[in-house]
Structure 1
């Protein structure tokens, strides 16, 4: 077996055949004759020393060896795409690209200002920002699809090294005419006092929705979600329309209070104070553009903390 003989054209063809379930359809998408495609697959099987496909009348399916190659081929071709993008950026005068996967809380509250400051100081570095939930942000870094993940505490971080980014505080948001609105200006409420209301929530897979569900369950109750929406702005609009109350980061809701006639109520529970974390796979091996952005983001953290492997 001589894997150094693997070529990108054959790997790309192999992936297309897997995707279409047919050598002929894969060959068509690769703009190759069927005979030429079959020869490439045969040569690929000789190179790896095993059959990659089980051939049958309706197409092909992967063997165990084919499944193993497919996993690695996807990563190899993705890395080649990233390499092509990086080289294109260098040719255009951009000296680096950093891929950042971040939760909505960070995108809404903190990143616009932080990223604007970074780009002003490092005009040659491009940032690709993917807004996601906490779990997706962690997996993006673990899988190599992102250089830095930004997620909420309590998220299993799968061995990533983590650094503190920001802290935020969760508050209850209600329409101005709601019965709870009369409590504005009073002492903070305990969550148990609002847990029986209907809620407007982010999707269930988000860290905020999971935190609310867990805290409600700890009271022996079930969170009553009337509607799930995908953004803080949509949550505020639904609350303003009287579809329920919500729990949101305080800084994220402040711009909407007056325009949507909403009232913000403080909570006394300790869990409403959250820490947002930055995560990377290997702090010591970061490319320089990634290191520069990470240092910039950490510099704005409210307090320094040691690097920790999170699990």
Structure 2
């Protein structure tokens, strides 16, 4: 078996054949003549030393060996695509890439300004930002899909080194005319009896509210799940429920939609956003540069929060 002679064109063709279930359709998508495509598949089978396809009148089906090659071919071709993207970056003057995963709170409140400032200082470093739930972010950093992650406090992060990125404060948002709208400050127990609009169940915020409701002896009644703070405010404005949201993130929406923003009495509404990496001291240079920048931005903002 001599797999070192496998070529990318043949692997790409095999991928297309596996995906379409047809050699002729795979050849068409690969812009190859049918005879040339069939020869490439036969050469692959000879190199592997086992049949890759079961041929029948309606097309082809992968053999166990074919399924194994298909899995590895996908990874090889993805790696080649990433290599091409990286080399293209270097050709355009990009000196590094940082893969950053962050939760909605960080993406909405702090990262736009922080990353814009970083881009101005370090135009050669490209940031690949992915918005995800806090638990997904930790897993992405642990398995190497991200160099840095920003997630909510209390998210299990065993195996990561962490530091505080920023702090935010949760408030209760209600529509005008709601029974709580005339109040300035409420306890979460008082609010928990009403229907809520929430982010998806996997988010740290949704899980925290469910926990606090249980501790108050109530079951949180979620009327609708949405995917963004913007959508949550729109649903509150439509009278579909009330919501707990980060104050700074929703201030423009609250004003634009005529909503009421109420203080919550509990200490847990003051939250920390955590920045984590597998090893903060051994980050690649581009990621280290971004980490230092985010740290300096946090320190620059701290006096303003105290003065306020």
Name the TM-score class by shorter chain: 0.7 to 0.9
CA distance in 1, matches of 2:297, 2:86: 28
- Going from structure 1 to structure 2, the CA distance change for 1:17 and 1:227 (only over 3 Å counts) comes to same
Query: Structure 1 residue 157: deviation in Å?
Result: 5.2
Partner of 1:255: 252
Match of 2:15, SS state, is helix
Alignment length (residue pairs): 299
CA distance in 2, matches of 1:35, 1:151: 53
- Within the alignment, does 1:244 sit opposite 2:248 as a pair? no
Pick one of 262, 266, 284 that aligns with 2:263: 266
**The 10-residue stretch of structure 1 (245-254 or 97-106) with the greater mean CA deviation from structure 2:** 97-106
CA distance in 1, matches of 2:32, 2:128: 34
CA deviation digits over 1:258-293, x for unaligned, max 9? 332222223343443433233445656643223322
Partner of 2:80: 80
Pick one of 266, 290, 303 that aligns with 1:293: 290
Partner of 1:5: 5
Matches within 5 A, 1:121-160: 121-138=121-138, 140-141=140-141, 145-155=145-155, 159=159
Task: Give the greater-gyration-radius structure (CA).
Answer: 2
- Going from structure 1 to structure 2, the CA distance change for 1:219 and 1:120 (only over 3 Å counts) comes to same
Partner of 1:305: none
- Would you say the 8 A contact 1:163–1:298 is kept in 2? no
Partner of 1:97: 97
**The 10-residue stretch of structure 1 (58-67 or 81-90) with the greater mean CA deviation from structure 2:** 58-67
Partner of 1:205: 202
CA distance in 1, matches of 2:101, 2:84: 21
Q: Given the two structures, how large is their TM-score scaled by the length of structure 1? A: 0.82
CA distance in 2, matches of 1:62, 1:279: 42
RMSD value over aligned CA atoms? 2.8
Where does structure 2 lack aligned partners over 5 or more consecutive residues? 300-308
Q: Which has the higher helix share?
A: 2
Query: Structure 1 residue 88: deviation in Å?
Result: 1.4
Match of 2:202, SS state, is coil
Q: Given the two structures, how large is their TM-score scaled by the length of structure 2? A: 0.83
Partner of 1:52: 52
- Going from structure 1 to structure 2, the CA distance change for 1:100 and 1:242 (only over 3 Å counts) comes to same
CA deviation digits over 1:112-142, x for unaligned, max 9? 1110121111011222323333344345556
- Within the alignment, does 1:169 sit opposite 2:169 as a pair? yes
